[in-house]
Structure 1
Amino acid sequence: MTKITLDVHQFPCLNDNYGYLVHEAVSGETAAIDTPDADKYLAEAKRMGWTITHILNTHWHPDHAGGNLKIKDETGCTIYGPAGEAEKIPGIDVKLTEGDMVEFGRATARVLDVPGHTLGHIAYHFADQNVAFVGDALFALGCGRVFEGTMDMMWASLSKLKALPPETLVYCAHEYTQANARFAETVETGNADLADYIKDIDARRAKGQPTVPTRLAKELATNPFLRADVPDLQTAMGHPGDAVATFAEIRSRKDSF
C-alpha cells in the first residue's frame, strides 16, 4: 500500500493568522484548514498546483470561516465543521462531533471536541501523521481566550489535547508565540526548558520565521496553560491540588497582562 504522506503548506494571512493547505498526493485532494482569507487561500492553492476539495473548519469566528463561501463557489469543495456551530458556519455540508472521522484521500482525521474558546470548537487529529490542527484552542505557549465556555470546559479540552502523543506537531492558527512567551516567563520563572524555548522563539522572530507548528512535548514542558496540573505551579498560583482553579488563575492573569 502506498505510504500516506500529507504535504502541509503554511502561509501568513490577515494580521497574524496562519493559513494551511493540506495536500494528500495519492488522491490529489487538498484541504483548507479554516478560511481566514479566501483570496490568499485560492492564490496559494494555484501557486502550489492544487485544487481545494475540502474545507475543515475548527470554529465559527470570521477569521476562521469567513472565506468559506467564496472558496466553495470557486472550487465546489465540501465544507466540514462543528455540529455545535453549524448555524454559524457558512456553507457547511458535513457536521462533525467528537470521534467522527474525516476521510481525506488515504489519510483520516479524527475529530476532537475542544470547547471553551467557542462552545462548538473542534480539532482535527491526523494520527498516522502525528499532526493536529487545533484552531484557537491551543497556541504555542498559550491557549485561546475563554469567550463562550467555562474554565472547567477549557481545561477539559486542553487535557484532551495534552493526551495526544507527545511527538504530535501542533498547528495553531495565530503567530502569538512571542507575546505568549513574555507572559509565560512571569508564571514559571525557574523553568529552564521555557528559558531555552524563549531564546529560540526570539531568534526565529528576529529572522521573520514562524514559531508554528510546535511539538506537543515542548508545550507540555513549557506552556503554562497545559501545566495547571503541576503541583509546584498550583502552589505558586495559590490553588494547590486544583488544576481548574490554577488554569483559571493563569488565564485571568493573561487576559489582563
Structure 2
Amino acid sequence: MPYDLITIPCLSDNYAYLLRDHDSGEVAVIDVPEAGPILKELENRGWSATQVWLTHHHWDHIDGLPDLLAVHPAKVVGGKADAHRLPKLDQAVSEGDTVSLGALEAQVLDVSGHTIGHIALYVPKASLAFTADSLMALGCGRLFEGTPAQMWDSMQKLMALPADTTICSGHEYTASNAKFALTVDPANAALISRSNDIQAARDKGLPTVPSKLSTELETNPFLRPADPGIRATLGMQDATDAAVFKEIRKRKDSF
C-alpha cells in the first residue's frame, strides 16, 4: 500500500483525515475542524503536514487551521469558487484540476449542494475520495446553499467513481442517517444489516466512516432514487430520479 490514511475524530462529531504518501513522506491534512487532535496524531507518528486540503468554508472544517499552520506551515489548497470565504489559499482549484502529494494525485470535483463551491478530492492510486459534507455515510449534506438538482448532479459524479472507492466523509451522522434511510427503503436487507452493524460500532465508540462506495450504492437512499422499492414507498413510480432525490432530501430535512 503506497499510502497511509488516518481518520481523526474532532469536535463532537467531525472527522479530519491524514493522507501520507510513502514515496515522498508528504502528508496532507483534509479539513481542520480543530487543531489539537490533528497535531497530536502528527506528533505521535513523527509526521509533518506539508499540505492542507479544505473542502468548504464552514467553520467546523476550517477553524483549526491557524493553530495547525503555526506548527506545520503547510500549503493550503481549496476551491477557487469558495476562495472569498476560505482562509488564504496557496492553491485555488476548480473541477478538472489536480493536486499532487508526492506520487499521489488528487482529482478535484465540484460537488456543490451543501454549499456552493464545495469540492471533493478523488485520489485514484489510493482509491480514496474525500467528500466531506457532500456524499456522507448513508446520507448527503443538508442543502444550505445549493438546490436539490445541484446536489443530485454532485451525487452522480461521485456515483460514477469505481465502486471500491473509500468515501471519507466529514461527520459521524451515520446512526441517525440509518434510522431515516429505513423509513424510505424499509425492505432493503443490506440496509437493515448495515444499520445493525452501525449501532454495534457506535455502542463501542467506534467510527462508522470511512465507508466503501459499493456499500453506499447498496444502502444510501440519496444514491438510490431509481430503486423501485424506494419509489413505491414514496408513491413516485413514474417520477424522474432528480424528483425522487428532491423528495428524499425534503423528508430527511424534517425527519
* 2:61 partner letter: H
> Which residue is equivalent to 1:126?
123
The CA deviation at 1:88 is 1.0
Q: Distance in 1 between matches of 2:8 and 2:164?
A: 23
1:135 aligns with 2:166: no
Aligned to 1:248: 246
Distance in 2 between residues matched to 1:209 and 1:232, nearest whole Å: 31
Cα shift at 1:234? 2.7
Corresponding position: 1:169 with 2:166: yes
TM-aligned CA deviation for residue 92 of structure 1: 1.1
Contact kept? 1:238, 1:246, Cα under 8 Å: no
Q: Which segment drifts farther, 232-241 or 27-36? A: 232-241
How big is the shift at 1:79?
Answer: 0.2
| Within-5 A mapping of 1:1-257 | 5-239=2-236, 240-257=238-255
In 2, Cα distance between equivalents of 1:41 and 1:198: 29
TM-score under structure 1 normalisation? Answer: 0.96
Q: Secondary structure at the match of 1:22?
A: strand
Give structure 1 stretches of 5+ with no counterpart: none
1:210-249 Cα distance to aligned partner (Å, 9 max, x none): 1111111111011001111224423432332311111111
| Aligned residue identity for 1:57 | L
Letter in 1 for 2:119: I
SS at match of 2:6: strand
Distance 1:113 1:6 in 2: 24
TM-superposed CA distance for 1:68, in Å, is: 2.0
| Alpha-carbon distance in structure 2 between the residues aligned to 1:231 and 1:153 | 23
Deviation at 1:170, TM superposition (A): 0.5
CA deviation map 1:160-191 (0-9, x unaligned): 10111011110101111111001111111111
Which piece of structure 1 moves more, 220-229 or 240-249? 240-249
Aligned-residue RMSD, C-alpha: 1.2
Aligned-pair CA distance for 1:40: 2.1
After TM superposition, give the deviation of residue 21 of structure 1 in Å: 1.1
Runs of 4+ with >4 A deviation: none
5+ unaligned residues in a row in structure 2: which ranges?
none
Give the letter aligned to residue 193 of structure 1.
A
Aligned length: 254
**Contact 1:69-1:91 within 8 A present in 2 as well:** no
How far off its partner does 1:253 sit? 0.7
What fraction of aligned residue pairs are identical, expressed as a percent?
46
Which deviates the most, 106-115 or 240-249? 240-249
SS in 2 for 1:175: coil
Structure 1 residue 13, shift from structure 2 partner: 1.0
Separation in 2 of the partners of 1:253 and 1:17?
Answer: 23
